[in-house]
Amino acid sequence: MTASFRLGYVPGATPAKWARIWAERQPGVPLHLRSVSAAEAAGHVRDGEVDAVLLRLPTDRTGLHAIPLYTETTVVVVPKDHVIAAADEVSSEDLAGEVVLHPLDDTLDWTQPPGRPAHERPASTADAIELVAAGVGLLVVPQSLARLHHRRDLTYRPVTDAPQSRVALSWREDETTDLMEEFIGIVRGRTVNSTRGRQQPQSQPKQQPKRGKPAAVKGAARRGAAKGSRRGRRS
């Protein structure tokens, strides 16, 4: 059976760059990409359905390794004609009088979401985007999700004091295989010749070349031999 590597990724995560590098370095090992929901991402890798997953922190990391890769800007999604669209950035206080939607798949670790809550929580971020377009409320999400659900009638602005989403590479603690090490090296930016984290064979000690006598010693020996020869002829 041909070896392969299965990578899950949550909405908004973009594995394309790493997938290209994998194809260059491991042309004989297919990389299978699988989209997974944020809520189920950790479960997929824990159950062995994928070898690794790009997920959002915080999450339940029981039995899992996780390497944080980057932190996203948090933005508020608004209709293009909303007053907030005229600002470069906003704070949570600027949203205090607004209805702010809080979907069930929200990935931000809120102590208390800003603004006024809607009567019901949308089932998903995609549903919340539709409600923003309908003028029902605003939505605060990681920037990649705002881009993923882009609409011409909506825009977004950074929220300076909102929680931020961290994207991490996660895998099972008992499954750090050679292929897993290879992918870790790729996301960490190691070059193809990097030996970090890999056991290298011990090199054999170099055999020292036999050293001859120094030139000065050789010269003195030759002079001594010549003197001896002359003395022999005189006698």
pLDDT confidence of residue 199: 43
Half-sphere exposure of 14 (CA within 13 A, CB side): 8
pLDDT confidence of residue 119: 93
Residue keyed to tokens 């004989």: 28
Instruction: Please name the fold of domain 5-71+166-187.
Output: D-Maltodextrin-Binding Protein; domain 2 (3.40.190)
CB atoms within 10 A of CB 8: 25
Strand pairing of 31-35 and 5-9?
parallel
Q: What is the mean pLDDT of the chain?
A: 87
pLDDT confidence of residue 148: 96
pLDDT at residue 95 greater than cutoff 70? yes
Confidence of residue 210 (pLDDT cuts 50, 70, 90): low
pLDDT confidence of residue 8: 98
pLDDT confidence of residue 226: 52
| Six token digits for residue 193 | 């010749």
Domain ranges of the chain: 5-71+166-187, 74-158
pLDDT confidence of residue 203: 42
pLDDT confidence of residue 191: 83
Identical fold, 5-71+166-187 and 74-158: yes
pLDDT confidence of residue 225: 53
Q: Which whole number is the average pLDDT over 142-150? A: 97
Its CATH class, for the domain covering 74-158, is: alpha beta
Find out whether 110 and 133 touch, Cβ atoms under 8 Å: no
Half-sphere exposure of 134 (CA within 13 A, CB side): 8
pLDDT at residue 197 greater than cutoff 90? no
Closest CA relative to residue 34, chosen from 1, 68, 17, 11: 11
Q: Phi, psi at residue 167, to the nearest 5°? A: -95, 135
Confidence of residue 205 (pLDDT cuts 50, 70, 90): very low
pLDDT at residue 19 greater than cutoff 80? yes
Closest CA relative to residue 32, chosen from 2, 61, 65: 2
Least reliable range by pLDDT among 21-35, 85-99, 187-201: 187-201
Residue keyed to tokens 């705002």: 146
pLDDT at residue 169 greater than cutoff 80? yes
Q: How far apart are CA 55 and CA 218, in angstroms?
A: 73
